[in-house]
Structure 1
C-alpha cells in the first residue's frame, strides 16, 4: 500500500478537450494488462477500458480493483461520520479508547485526527513488521501481521516527534485508526464501514475482502506486466488499504463528495473537504481529513492514489466543476510510474474542459 502526491502545472488546455478523447488518451498512456478510467461530469458518466491482456468476459469495468492507500478516504469518511453523529470526537486519544485506564507513554497524546492526517509521529509501519514481511515482500507482505499485533505495536510505540507537530505518511497510523473506531463503537471494522459508509452510499460492488472464486476481482501483475499475483490480504492493516471496488462504485463514492446533500452523509462529506494542515516547500501541500488538495484555476481538486503489490488506483474530484475521475490498473509501476501522472492529468484536463457553473 502506498500513495503518491503529485503536482502538475495547471496551464492552458492542449489537444482535444472532448471527454471521450481525454479518456481514450489516458487509457492508451498506461501500459498494463488491464486499465480503466472513468469520469463523471454533472452526473453523466463515461468509462473507457483497455490493456495488453485479453479482456475478461464481463468487461474490465465490472471487476473490483484493489485501492491500496486510496482506501484511506473511506476510513476518514467513517471517522467524520462517527464524529458528526456524536459517537466519537476528533480529539479523543486512541490509546484511551483501545486500552482504557492505563498509560502508554509516547502514544498517550495521539488523537484520532492525528492518525488519519499522518501527524501522529508514528513510522510508516511497525518496526517488527519488516522481518516477517520481507520473505514474501512482492506477493503477500501483510498477511502475517494480524490486528492484535497492530494494536500492541501502537500501544508500545514511541512517536518520532510530538503528535501534531509534523507530517509523515503512515499506514501504521491509519490502521490503528480502524481498530480504534471498532473499539469505540464495539463493532468490527468491516461491519462498521459497511453500515456507516458503504451501505448509505449504495456501494454494493465495494468489498473489504477478496472474492477470487467468483471472478469479480481484478488480478494484479508484477511490474513485468505478465506475472500474476494473489489477491491482497491486508490482515491487521485493513483501514489503510483493504477496500476494493468497481470503477462505477469509485465514481459513486466521488459523486457523493460532489453532491453531499443528496446523501445521508451530508455533514461528514462536507467535513472531509475542509483543509486541516499544510506542509512541504512553501507549505504548498494542503491536506484535509482524508484528501490531498491542490489549488487550480478551476478551484481546488481533491485526490488520493494507492498501490498494492500488483495494482494501482486513483480517486479525484473537483467540486467547482462538478467533475470526478476514477482509475485503476493491474500493474504496479515501481520505476517509471505512468499511471499516477496520467490519472492526475486527466482530472485536471476534465476540470478544464467543463465550464464552472
Structure 2
C-alpha cells in the first residue's frame, strides 16, 4: 500500500479526523495531509496546521537544558534543591536529586501508580478528561505537592516516566533565567531552527490555523491547560516546523544548537525498567530497554536504533522519529486523543528506509 493510502486509511478508519505527516529522506521532504480540521468543516489540514504535540515537548525541554548547560547557566549535576529551596527536607534533598535524574526519568518519582493510572485511563475513556488535578496547580501548590512525594529507587538507577519531573525542570529553567518556559523555547530553539509556529499561547494570526481536538469519546476538547507541567506536555506545533526540528536533529541543517543536539542524540542511558512499565509499553507495542537524552530508543531486528517519542493529550496524538544512520525521519500530528500513532510512524519510516 502506498504511503498516502496508509495515511488516508488512518482517518477513514475513524482513528482521527485530521492527520498531517512530514517525511524526511536525506535532502528530500514530503508532506501528506488528509481529513478535515473540524468535523464536517470540509477544510483539509496543511503542513502549517497547528496541533498539540503533548509529550514530544520533553525533547525540547531536554535540548534546552543541555544548551543552557553549554552556555554555563546551569549544571545538570547540581542538586535541584539549590534552585528550589521549597524542596528542602524532602526526598529530593535527602537523595540529592539533580536535573539529569529528572531529564532521564530516573529520579524515583512514581506519579503513575496502578490506582492512579487506572483512574486516569477510565476517566479519559469515559469523559475524555484528565483526572490528574495536580497538572493544573500553580507553582506554589505544585512545589508543595511534590515536596511530599516519596521517591523510589536509587537516583539514576530506574526508569519511571514522570511528567512531574519534567515540570520541575521547566520551573528551574525559568528561575535561573528569569524567562518563561515558552520564551526560552522560542529564543533558544525555535529561533535557531526557524520554527515560527511552535509555542504554548497562540498569537491572533496563529488561531486561524488551529485544528480542533477530539477526545477518545469523539467529543470536542479545548487545548490542554497544564501550567504545572508546561515543560512536559504543553507545546503546539506544525509538521512544517517539526520537519525543521528533525532535520536539525539529524544534522541536515547547521544551527547554533548543533553541539547540544549531537550530545542528546549520542548520550545513551540504560536504566532498569520496572516490570509494570515493561508490561504497559509492550501492551501498546513499544519495547523499551535504553534511551538517549530526550529520546526513546526503538531497537530494530537488524541492530539499528530508531530514536523517537510520542505525545498524547486529551484531544491530540503525535509522534516523531529519526533514523540517524539513514538520515531519515518522520513526524505525525493528529487531532484525536488517546489514539497512539507510533506504530503508524515507525512502519512508514521503516518502509521508506527500505527504498
Q: Same fold (TM over 0.5)?
A: yes
Report runs of 4+ in structure 1 exceeding 6 Å deviation: 133-137
- Larger mean CA deviation between 36-45 and 262-271 belongs to 36-45
3-state DSSP of counterpart to 1:72: helix
Q: 1:310 aligns with which of 304, 309, 315?
A: 315
- Larger mean CA deviation between 279-288 and 267-276 belongs to 279-288
Give the equivalent residue in structure 2 for 1:349: 351
Deviation at 1:58, TM superposition (A): 7.0
Unaligned runs of 5+ in 2: 279-286
Q: 1:294 aligns with which of 291, 295, 298?
A: 298
Query: Is 1:124–2:116 an aligned residue pair?
Result: no
Give the equivalent residue in structure 2 for 1:185: 177
CA distance in 2, matches of 1:197, 1:64: 18
CA distance in 1, matches of 2:150, 2:333: 36
When normalised by structure 1's length, the TM-score is: 0.82
CA distance in 1, matches of 2:50, 2:288: 34
CA distance in 2, matches of 1:285, 1:326: 23
Q: For 1:86-235, list aligned pairs within 5 A.
A: 86-99=72-85, 103-108=88-93, 109-124=96-111, 138-139=128-129, 144-210=136-202, 214-225=207-218, 227-235=219-227
- Pick closer, same or farther for the CA change 1:88–1:222 going to 2, 3 Å: same
CA distance in 1, matches of 2:270, 2:201: 32
Aligned partners of 1:27 and 1:36 also within 8 Å: no
Give the equivalent residue in structure 1 for 2:330: 325
Give the equivalent residue in structure 2 for 1:285: 289
Deviation at 1:42, TM superposition (A): 1.2
- Pick closer, same or farther for the CA change 1:91–1:47 going to 2, 3 Å: same
Q: For 1:26-105, list aligned pairs within 5 A.
A: 26-30=7-11, 31-51=15-35, 53-54=39-40, 57=43, 59-99=45-85, 103-105=88-90
Cα deviation per residue 1:129-159 (whole Å; 9 max; x = unaligned)? 99xx999973465673223322232333321
Aligned partners of 1:325 and 1:343 also within 8 Å: yes
CA distance in 2, matches of 1:311, 1:79: 26
Aligned partners of 2:56 and 2:310 also within 8 Å: yes
Aligned partners of 1:148 and 1:236 also within 8 Å: no
Cα deviation per residue 1:240-269 (whole Å; 9 max; x = unaligned)? 001100111111111100117611101100
Deviation at 1:292, TM superposition (A): 0.6
RMSD (CA atoms): 2.9
3-state DSSP of counterpart to 2:354: helix
Deviation at 1:351, TM superposition (A): 2.4
CA distance in 2, matches of 1:64, 1:148: 31
Cα deviation per residue 1:263-291 (whole Å; 9 max; x = unaligned)? 11011001111212244489961111100
Deviation at 1:161, TM superposition (A): 2.4
- Pick closer, same or farther for the CA change 1:135–1:148 going to 2, 3 Å: farther
Give the equivalent residue in structure 2 for 1:238: 230
3-state DSSP of counterpart to 2:297: strand
3-state DSSP of counterpart to 1:110: coil
When normalised by structure 2's length, the TM-score is: 0.82
3-state DSSP of counterpart to 1:200: helix
Unaligned runs of 5+ in 1: 1-15
